[in-house]
């Protein structure tokens, strides 16, 4: 199919069009036995008209999925250490470091050093665990926000919220990022600021193995303490060293 | 600038002929699956043959005891490296369907895996996620459903910051979505749509491509028009999708392909296309079409049809909406560059992917059917002859004739420009065919020409038109029209 040479230039040119030619129809046009009528056509999802294109799409996807599932090749670099104070984790691949950083040092609460998977959950945690104004307001109104992004429901207690998460959003009853705020207890390991039991919880809880967790079921939400979980020696936060950011500001430093 | 997806067309180790043969087999399997409405199936996504051919290391089936040992080491190993290695071994074993079966039947195995997935140990977390990813590839719904306890966490991690991890979670979710309706039924109330809407704001191309994949699988579900598309349309996703399809230097082919297909599944489900039009879909797609036409001229990138196809489909279906008449954009403003672009793309299809020609011509039909402006563009841009050349391509003859009828039915001013040229000899050629539909449409076109173009009937007679008509006199669907034309030609 030979295209007129001016066509390519036209494509690169300005928008616009020649004035349309005058339309003048004869009533006999398309009359029986003829049946032509100019009309637009639409095709629904499953129409066989789309078969060829759909097949091409899936051939492409097959290649993509196979590549994605393949063993990840990580380009190795000379070993380096995490730069965060108190962390001496060593890496030889940048992606591993990125993940470590975001997981452990990313959304970290400056009060209790607990790490969260997202800024959203961190914000909720700080509000509910470390904001005294929140506690006051919570006595009078629904302050516990649903954890699911996009859901604007608020609840009187964290238990009500959990109920909502389970029944409405089909979340697991033991969802790890919805620990109810426990009372202050005797200071456990490191810091002298509040919520000592959360201290151990931040590392230990998160690394808590499932079978132990299973023993906790049905979980009496309030008084559970989780002390003394072993931290592998390669992560040397050390006794007395602060984890993550040394921040005395009220708000946690977020990345 | 079109930056292709990493490794998109990376050739495998085998010979070209072997590749072609295998591709034909895969194509046949997909075609069959589509006819059975089974195209959205995991089995078809994971091309088993490819892996066998490529398979460096043999995948070993792990037994119960071995799995338990690996899990124990991963949980309680002393050295972090040891724990990681245990998970890597588990993951390799999970590549085998039998290991997957044994794994899911082992009590506490998923719980342990989820525990490792949610631990603060970054590298263990990654490996646990990879194990889940392997499980998500299973062809058995039971295995996908065994992963249900992990979905709330996968969704939570989408709002994190570690892009490799997010990418992995997205592909895992996409695979789980395809396999099981039970998974989809859980993911919707768990907030997958808002999670994706938040995640789509990531600047990372690999994340976006993975998200597009997951979303496209969600939108392809059979219950999507009722249960999924309405919430997607109610979210900010459509605006972000349209933004990612904006032509320009930042357009990425791999990302655009995924989202163009997402848009196609939304549009052809016909839930609320008017909304998309108000959000500028026609404008974006029209401009993208122009950009694509420019791109196919520049590069010999054989991946472009993967994007052209859904864009053409989206435009074509959207044009049939009433709202399309009133909203602005190159289509509404009758920008003849759209027609120019389409022909450049038709030529591209002819060379690279003839099976997509019908879709291109379908768009041309929808552009020209009710539009004197676009019909005039065909004429003013000298595109009638190239169109006639396409008549010889069998899978589009009827469509080409339909477009020509679209032009001719607008009256004498239009027919004048169809005449004389190659039109008559070409029509006489089509009358020699035995395809009833093609011949029928040729007869329609002839009627219009006889009506509007003085001298057409005469010329027809002189070129032995009557004889050409004669062979169809006995054909049921054609005879009335044949006789009518014979009368007109002879008696005026």
| H/E run at residue B427 | helix B423-431
Q: What is the pLDDT of residue A97?
A: 84
- CA-CA distance, B456 to A103, in Å (whole number)? 77
Residues of B in Cβ contact (< 8 Å) with A207? 119-121
Q: What is the pLDDT of residue A104?
A: 83
Residue A233 has pLDDT above 70, yes or no: no
Q: Does domain B61-190 have CATH number 1.25.10.10?
A: yes
ipTM above 0.85, yes or no: yes
CB proximity under 8 Å: A 129-148 to B = 148
| Average pLDDT value for residue range A37-54 | 93
The CA radius of gyration of chain A, in Å to the nearest whole number, is 31
pLDDT digits over B225-284, tens only?
Answer: 999 999 999 999 999 999 999 998 889 999 999 999 999 999 999 999 999 999 999 999
Q: Which residue of B has its CA nearest to A168?
A: B189
Among A40, A148, A198, the strongest candidate for a mutation testing the B interface, having the largest count of B CBs within 10 A, is: A40
Mean pLDDT of chain B: 88
| pTM greater than 0.90 | no
Confidence of residue B383 (pLDDT cuts 50, 70, 90): very high
Residue A191 has pLDDT above 50, yes or no: no
| Average pLDDT value for residue range A80-101 | 83
Task: Answer whether residue A81 is part of any domain.
Answer: yes
A92 and A127 both lie in a single domain: no
pLDDT digits over B429-463, tens only?
Answer: 999 998 999 999 999 999 999 999 989 999 999 99
DSSP character at residue B3: B
- CA-CA distance, A173 to A163, in Å (whole number)? 8
Residue A185 has pLDDT above 90, yes or no: no
Q: What is the pLDDT of residue A237?
A: 42
A125 and A162 both lie in a single domain: yes
Pairing between β-strand A107-108 and β-strand A115-116 as defined by DSSP bridges: antiparallel
CA atoms within 13 A on the CB side of B437: 8
Task: Please give the share of chain A, as a percent, with pLDDT higher than 70.
Answer: 69
Task: Answer whether residue A92 is part of any domain.
Answer: yes
| Average pLDDT value for residue range A120-130 | 91
Q: Tokens for B362, please give them.
A: 């379908």
Task: Please give the share of chain B, as a percent, with pLDDT higher than 90.
Answer: 67
Task: Answer whether residue A199 is part of any domain.
Answer: no
Q: What is the pLDDT of residue B140?
A: 84
How many folded domains does chain A comprise? Answer: 2
Round to the nearest angstrom and report the end-to-end CA distance of chain A: 56
Residues of B in Cβ contact (< 8 Å) with A42? 270, 316-317, 320
Confidence of residue B369 (pLDDT cuts 50, 70, 90): very high
Does B111 contact A213 at a Cβ distance shorter than 8 Å? yes
Task: Answer whether residue A127 is part of any domain.
Answer: yes
Least confident of A50-59, A158-167, B326-335, B395-404: B326-335
User: Could you tell me which residues come within 8 angstroms of residue A144 by beta carbon, excluding any fewer than 6 positions away?
Assistant: A128, A138, A154, A155, A156, A157, A158, A160, A161
Task: Answer whether residue A166 is part of any domain.
Answer: yes
A166 and A123 both lie in a single domain: yes
Residue B354 has pLDDT above 70, yes or no: yes
**How many angstroms away from the CA of B413 is the closest CA of chain A?**
6
Q: Which of A177, A195, A213 is the last residue of a domain?
A: A177
Q: Which of A154, A177, A200 is the last residue of a domain?
A: A177
Give me the domain span that covers residue A99: 74-108
The label of the residue with tokens 């039991």 reads: A197
Residue B396 has pLDDT above 80, yes or no: yes
Task: Answer whether residue A87 is part of any domain.
Answer: yes
Q: What is the pLDDT of residue A31?
A: 86
Sketch the domain layout of chain B as residue ranges: 61-190, 407-491
Q: Please give the sequence-ordered ranges of beta strands (E in DSSP) within A40-125, or none if there are none.
A: 80-81, 90-91, 107-108, 115-116
Task: Answer whether residue A152 is part of any domain.
Answer: yes
Using a CB–CB cutoff of 8 Å, tell me whether B119 touches chain A.
Answer: yes
| H/E run at residue A81 | strand A80-81
User: Which of A98, A103, A209 comes nearest B75 by C-beta?
Assistant: A209
Q: Which residue of A has its CA nearest to B335?
A: A16
Q: What is the pLDDT of residue A242?
A: 39
Confidence of residue B407 (pLDDT cuts 50, 70, 90): very high
A100 and A135 both lie in a single domain: no
Does A203 contact B120 at a Cβ distance shorter than 8 Å? yes
């Amino acid at each position: 199919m030979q295209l007129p040479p001016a066509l390519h230039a036209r494509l690169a040119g300005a928008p616009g069009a020649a004035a349309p030619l005058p339309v003048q129809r004869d009533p006999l046009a398309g009359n029986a036995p003829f049946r032509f009528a100019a009309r637009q056509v639409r095709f629904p999802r499953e129409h066989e008209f789309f078969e060829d294109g759909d097949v091409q799409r899936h051939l492409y996807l097959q290649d993509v999925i196979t590549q994605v599932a393949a063993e990840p090749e990580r380009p190795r670099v000379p070993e380096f250490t995490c730069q965060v104070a108190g962390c001496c984790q060593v890496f030889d691949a940048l992606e591993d470091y990125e993940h470590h950083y975001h997981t452990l040092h990313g959304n970290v609460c400056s009060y209790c050093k607990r790490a969260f998977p997202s800024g959203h959950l961190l914000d909720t945690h700080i509000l509910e665990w470390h904001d005294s104004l929140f506690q006051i307001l919570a006595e009078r109104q629904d302050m516990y926000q649903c954890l699911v992004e996009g859901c604007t429901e608020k609840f009187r207690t964290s238990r009500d919220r959990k109920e909502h998460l389970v029944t409405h959003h089909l979340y697991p009853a033991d969802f790890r990022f919805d620990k109810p705020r426990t009372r202050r207890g005797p200071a456990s390991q490191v810091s002298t600021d509040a919520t000592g039991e959360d201290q151990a919880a931040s590392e230990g809880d998160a690394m808590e193995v499932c079978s132990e967790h299973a023993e906790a079921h049905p979980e009496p939400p309030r008084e559970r303490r989780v002390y003394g979980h072993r931290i592998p020696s390669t992560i040397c936060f050390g006794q007395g060293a602060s984890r993550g950011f040394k921040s005395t500001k009220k708000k946690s430093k977020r990345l | 600038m079109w930056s292709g997806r990493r490794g998109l067309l990376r050739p495998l180790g085998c010979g070209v002929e072997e590749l072609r043969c295998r591709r034909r087999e895969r194509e046949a399997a997909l075609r069959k699956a589509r006819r059975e409405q089974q195209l959205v199936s995991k089995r078809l996504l994971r091309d088993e043959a490819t892996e066998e051919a490529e398979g460096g290391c043999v995948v070993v089936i792990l037994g119960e005891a071995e799995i338990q040992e690996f899990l124990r080491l991963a949980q309680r190993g002393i050295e972090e490296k040891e724990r990681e290695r245990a998970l890597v071994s588990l993951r390799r074993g999970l590549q085998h369907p039998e290991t997957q079966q044994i794994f899911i039947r082992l009590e506490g195995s998923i719980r342990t895996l989820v525990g490792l997935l949610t631990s603060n140990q970054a590298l263990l977390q990654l490996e646990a996620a990879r194990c889940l990813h392997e499980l998500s590839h299973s062809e058995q719904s039971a295995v996908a459903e065994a992963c249900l306890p992990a979905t709330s966490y996968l969704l939570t991690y989408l709002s994190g910051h570690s892009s490799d991890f997010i990418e992995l979670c997205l592909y895992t979710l996409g695979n789980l979505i395809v396999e099981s309706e039970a998974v989809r039924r859980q993911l919707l109330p768990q907030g997958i749509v808002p999670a994706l809407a938040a995640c789509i704001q990531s600047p990372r191309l690999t994340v976006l491509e993975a998200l597009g994949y997951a979303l496209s699988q969600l939108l392809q579900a059979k219950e999507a028009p009722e249960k999924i598309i309405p919430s997607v349309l109610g979210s900010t996703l459509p605006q972000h999708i349209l933004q990612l399809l904006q032509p320009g230097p930042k357009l990425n082919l791999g990302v655009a392909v995924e989202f163009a297909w997402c848009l196609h599944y939304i549009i052809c489900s016909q839930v609320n296309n008017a909304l998309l039009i108000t959000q500028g879909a026609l404008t974006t797609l029209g401009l993208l079409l122009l950009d694509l036409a420019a791109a196919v001229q520049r590069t010999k990138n054989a991946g472009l049809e993967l994007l052209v196809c859904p864009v053409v489909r989206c435009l074509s279906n959207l044009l049939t909406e009433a709202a399309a008449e009133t909203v602005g954009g190159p289509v509404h403003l009758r920008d003849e560059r759209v027609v120019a672009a389409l022909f450049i793309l038709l030529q591209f299809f002819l060379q690279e992917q003839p099976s997509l020609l019908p879709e291109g011509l379908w768009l041309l039909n929808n552009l020209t059917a009710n539009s004197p402006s676009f019909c005039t563009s065909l004429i003013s841009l000298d595109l009638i002859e190239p169109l006639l050349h396409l008549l010889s391509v069998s899978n589009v003859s009827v469509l080409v004739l339909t477009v020509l009828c679209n032009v001719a039915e607008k009256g004498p001013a239009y027919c004048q420009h169809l005449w004389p040229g190659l039109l008559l000899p070409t029509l006489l050629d089509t009358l020699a065919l035995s395809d009833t539909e093609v011949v029928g449409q040729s007869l329609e076109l002839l009627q219009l020409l006889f009506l509007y173009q003085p001298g057409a009937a005469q010329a027809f007679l002189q070129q032995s038109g009557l004889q050409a008509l004669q062979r169809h006199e006995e054909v049921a669907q054609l005879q009335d029209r044949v006789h009518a034309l014979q009368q007109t030609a002879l008696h005026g």
